[in-house]
Chain A
Amino acid sequence: MKGTLVVTALMITSALDGAPRLVPLPDKSPLVTMRVVLLTGAAQEPAGQEGVAALCAAMLAQGGTRTLSYKQIVDAMFPMATSVDYQVDKEMVTFSGVTHVDNLEKYYALFRAMLLEPGWRQDDFDRLRDDAVNFLRVTLRGNNDEELSKEVLYNALYQGHPYGYHSIGVISSIQNLTLDNLRDFYKSQFTQANLILGVAGGYPKSFPERLKKDFAALPQGTKSERRLPDPKPLSGNRLVIVEKDTRSVAYSFGFPIEVTRGHPDYVALLVAQSYLGQHRSSAGRLYERMRQQRGLNYGDYAYIEYFPRGMFRMMPDPNLARPQQIFQVWIRPVEPDTAHFGLRLAMYELNKFVAQGMSQEDFERIRSFLSKYVNLLIKTKDAELGYAIDSLYYGIPEYNGFIKKGLSQLTLEKVNRAIRKHLRAERIQFVAVARNAQELRGKILSNQPSPMKYNSEKPGDLLAEDAVIQELKLDFKPENVVVVPVDRIFEARE
C-alpha cells in the first residue's frame, strides 16, 4: 500500500503544467471510486450570486444531461445502486461516485455526461433552487440547532469576507439566480486549470488515461484567483444569540487561526485539538469535564479545520480544504438552567488549557493516539483519494505519512508553544441558539453567579472548582452581545 502512495506522489508531480492533474490509487477491489475536484467554490461567486457554485454543482449531480432527463439518469443508476454525489465548499467543488466494476462502463458513461454535458433544464433548476432554499431555511435553520450555531459562527467571524455566508448560498441571492448565471459559472470555473481527477479501486489499466482524455473537453481556463482578505480581527469577546423556540441551548465559539495543513505548527495544533476535544471521542478534556463529570450535555469537542455535519459523521469529509481556518469549540445542547454555567465551564477549561498547556503524559498519549488514528481516516479508498487530493491542494506529502513524521518530530514544548501562539481565551466570537435569548443575554452580561445543582453527590474538588467557575467573569460589552431572530439567518448577506 505504501508503495502505491509513493508512486502516486511522483505521478502527480509529473502531471502538472497544463494537463489535468490525476490521482490514481489502483488496487484489486471489485469497486471503483471516482472523485473529480474543481479548485473553485463559493469563494469565487460574483457578488449577488451567492449560491451559484452549489446550485451549479447540484444541476450536474442531480439534473439531466444534454440527451438524458434526470428521470432517465435515475432509472439507469437504480439497478447499479449508484449515484453522483457532490459537495461544495469555499475552495472546492467535488463530485464523487462508486460503482461495482461490473457496471463501470455504464456508470462512467453517465458520470462523464453529467459532468461534461449538463442539460440545464428549467424544471431541474426550479426543483434544485427550492432544495437549496429549503436546506437553509428548514433543514439547517429549522431542524438542526447545532449545525446552525456552527454556521452562524463562520458567518460572524467572516463578515464582509468571501467566507461570510454558507456555501449553499444566501437565500435572497439564490432566489434571484438564473440558468444563465449557472452556465456562466460553469464555463468560467469548471476548467482544466482548476481540475483534479481521482480514481481508485479495481479499474482497468487504461481507465485513468480515458478519464484524462474525456475531461480534456473542459475549457483550458486559468486558475481561479485566490487572494483572500484576512478576517477582521476581534477586539473583544462577542456573542450572537439566535433566538428560537427550542428545548435547550446550543453553543459554538472560536476565532480565526493562521494554521492550515501546510503550516509548521499544524501537527502541534492537531495534538492540542485532539487533547481538548477529539471529535466524537469520549477521551477529550472538554467531554470529560462537561459531560462525564457533570452530565451537562451529550458531548463537547474542538476543531482546527472546517468540519460540517459533525452530528452525522464520525470522521471528517475530505475536500473541504481552505487556506484560512478557525479554531472552534462545539458545546452540544445544554439545559437552559445550566446554559450560563456551561459557557463558563467551557471558558474555564479553555483558559486553563491556554495558560498551562498539556502535560508530558497527555502529550505522549495523544501522540500515540494520532499516529495510529490517521490510519482510520483513510480506511476507505474514497477517503484515501480525498485525502490525497487535499494534500495536493495544501502542497504537503501524503497525509498519513506527513502526520506520522510530524508527530515523531514533535515535543511537548513545541505543542505548548503552539497553543500559546495560536490559541487564546479572549477575543472570541460566541454563538448561542436559545429560547428566551434576552434572559440569557442579561445573565451573561451581569456576570451574576450561576451555581450548579447536581442530582447526586459530587467530589469535594469538583465542588471547589464549581465555586470558582460559577463566578467566572465572562468579559462582554453590552454592544457586543446581540440577539438575532432565527428567521433572519441566511436570508441576506450580513
Chain B
Amino acid sequence: MYRVFALLMLFAMTSFAADPTPKAFPYEYDQHDFDNGLRLITVPTSYPNLVSLYIVVQAGSRNEVEPGRSGFAHLFEHMMFRGTKRFPPEKWEATMQKIGADTNAYTTDDHTAYHATFSAEDLETVLDLEADRFQNLEYQESVFRTEALAVLGEYNKNSAAPTSKLFEVLRNTAFDRHTYKHTTMGFLEDIKNMPNLYDYSLQFFDRYYRPEYTTIIVAGDVQPPQVRELVGKYWAGWKRGNYRAEIPAESAPASPRDGKVPWATPTLPWVVVSYRGPAYSDAEKDYAAMDVIAYLGFAESSDLYQKLVIQEQRVDTLYGMNAARIDPYLVVAGSRVKNAADIAYIREAVLNTFSQFKDQLVPATRLEAVKSHLRYDFALRMDNSEAIAASLARAVALRRTPETINRLYEVYGAVTPADVRDVARKYFTEGGRTIVTLQTEQAQ
C-alpha cells in the first residue's frame, strides 16, 4: 500500500511539473473523511525530519452568540491546556517537552487552531495526546477561574497598543447584530466576568469540540497511509455532536458611522476608514476583487502610499486589509498620521482613493502586478512544513479543503478592471462606511 502510494505521488509530481499553469497550492495532498465527520488532510512535503500538526476547530469568536459571552472561544482555547484524567497538564507538558515539540494555539473570528511541530518519529505520541484532550478534557472550576485571569493578563498586555482598542471600537461601531461586533479577545467587561462562567465553558466544549467541526492537518515528512491509520486509531471513536449556532445576520448598511478613541498617553493619531465588505468566496468574484482593491489602493506601490508616506511624508504607516471571513466583514484602510493637524486631510485622501475605484477603470498592467504579487507572496510563504500547515489551516477554516486555495487563485486570475469597478460601486457606499480615529486625549 505504501509503495503504491509513493508511485502515485511520483506520477502526480511529474505531471504537475509539466503543467503550464501550476496550482497556487503546489503540494499534492490526501483528504480523508472519517465516519464521525472528522476530516484529515495530509501533505507530504519535501522538508525532511519534521512534521507540523494543525487541528482546526471551526468555532471562533463568531460563534459567541449569547450576550456577555464575547471572548469565550479564546478562553476556551486556554482551557484546552488544562488536561485530562490520563494526561493532567503537567504530564501533557512534560511529554510534549521531552519530544522537543513546539506547541501553541490561537483563536480568530471563525476558527481556533491547536498546533505542534516536532520530529516525524513522534507523530503517534502527539496524535495520542491531542486526541485525548479533544475527547476527554476535564478541569475543575477552581482551575477555570485561574485560567480566566490569564486571559485578563493577555488583554492587559495587549492594551498598551492603541491598535487593539482601535479595532475593538471599529467593530463595535460598524456592526449591530453579527458577532463580528466584538473582537476575538472580547469586551473587557465580559473578560472580567469570565471566572463566573464555568458551566457555560462545559457547554461550549460539548457544542463545538466535535469531529464535524474539526479538521486535522498533518504536513511534513509523512506518508498519507501511515497518517490515516494513526489518526483513525486515536480519533475515529470521537462522537459526533449536533449543535449548530444561529449566527445573527447583520442588518443592511444604512448610515455612515464615526467612532473616536481617546488615548491617555502620547501616541501618533490613527485614522481607520472601513466599508462593509464581502464574505470570503472562492467562487464569486467579490472577495477576490476587494482583495485586489486593498493592494491597488493602499499597498506600498499604490499611488496613495507614494503620496502620503514617500512624498508628503504625512503618514508613517498605511495599509489596506480585506480579511477573509465566513460572513461579510470589513475592508479597512488604516493610517498612522504624523501630525494631528493632518487627520482631516488624510481622511479625505483615503475616502477619495476608495471612491476612485467606482469611477475609473484600473489599468490592466496594475491589475496584473497585483495578481503576480498575490501568487508570489503565497509561494514565498511555503518555505517549511510548519508554514505550509499554517497556511492550510486558515484556508481549511473557511472551506475545509486545500482546494479552496487553488480556486481562489483562479478567481484572482479572472478578475478584470470592470470587476474591480463593479465591486467598488457595490460596497463603497455612504451607508456601509465606518471611520474611527484615535488620538491622545489632550490633542483632541
**A residues bordering B, Cβ < 8 Å?**
1, 28-31, 70-71, 74-75, 77-82, 98-100, 102-103, 123, 126-127, 130-131, 134, 137-138, 142-146, 244-248, 250, 280-283, 288, 291-299, 311, 314, 332-335, 365-366, 368-376, 379-382, 454-458, 486-487
B31 at the binding interface (Cβ < 8 Å): no
B245 at the binding interface (Cβ < 8 Å): no
A-B contact pairs, 30 of them (CB 8 A): A78-B299, A80-B372, A81-B377, A123-B313, A130-B313, A131-B316, A134-B268, A143-B161, A146-B160, A247-B160, A281-B97, A283-B96, A295-B146, A296-B149, A333-B157, A335-B152, A368-B99, A369-B97, A369-B98, A369-B99, A370-B100, A371-B100, A372-B100, A372-B118, A375-B119, A381-B383, A455-B145, A456-B141, A456-B142, A457-B142
Given A282-B81, A292-B89, residue A332 in contact with residue B153 (CB < 8 A): yes
**B residues bordering A, Cβ < 8 Å?**
46-50, 81, 89-90, 93-94, 96-104, 117-119, 141-150, 152-154, 156-157, 159-163, 195, 264-268, 299-301, 306, 309-311, 313, 316, 338, 368-369, 372-377, 379-380, 383-387
Contacts beyond the supplied A143-B160, A291-B153, A295-B147: 5 A-B pairs with Cβ under 8 Å? A295-B148, A298-B154, A455-B149, A456-B143, A456-B145
Instruction: Find chain A residues with CB under 8 A from B148 CB.
Output: 295, 455
A332 near B157 (CB under 8 angstroms)? Answer: yes
With both chains docked as a complex, state the minimum distance between the C-beta of B376 and any C-beta of chain A, in angstroms.
4
- Once bound together, how far apart are the Cα atoms of A125 and B174, in whole Å? 39
Instruction: Find chain A residues with CB under 8 A from B267 CB.
Output: 138, 142-143
B48 near A1 (CB under 8 angstroms)? Answer: yes
Given A30-B379, A368-B100, A369-B100, residue A298 in contact with residue B156 (CB < 8 A): yes
Least CB separation from B159: chain A residue: A247
- Once bound together, how far apart are the Cα atoms of A5 and B136, in whole Å? 44
With both chains docked as a complex, state the minimum distance between the C-beta of A33 and any C-beta of chain B, in angstroms.
8
Given A70-B310, A80-B376, residue A146 in contact with residue B157 (CB < 8 A): yes
B153 near A458 (CB under 8 angstroms)? Answer: no
B153 near A334 (CB under 8 angstroms)? Answer: yes
With both chains docked as a complex, state the minimum distance between the C-beta of A55 and any C-beta of chain B, in angstroms.
15
B268 near A138 (CB under 8 angstroms)? Answer: yes
Least CB separation from A297: chain B residue: B153
What are the nearest 4 A-B pairs in CB distance? A372-B100, A295-B149, A81-B377, A456-B142
B380 near A98 (CB under 8 angstroms)? Answer: yes
B380 near A79 (CB under 8 angstroms)? Answer: no
B100 near A71 (CB under 8 angstroms)? Answer: no
A248 near B372 (CB under 8 angstroms)? Answer: no
Least CB separation from A103: chain B residue: B376
Least CB separation from A274: chain B residue: B97
A79 near B372 (CB under 8 angstroms)? Answer: yes
A379 near B147 (CB under 8 angstroms)? Answer: no
- Once bound together, how far apart are the Cα atoms of A456 and B141, in whole Å? 8
Instruction: Find chain A residues with CB under 8 A from B97 CB.
Output: 281, 283, 365-366, 368-369
B265 near A98 (CB under 8 angstroms)? Answer: no
- Once bound together, how far apart are the Cα atoms of A142 and B49, in whole Å? 43
Least CB separation from B265: chain A residue: A245
- Once bound together, how far apart are the Cα atoms of A123 and B307, in whole Å? 13
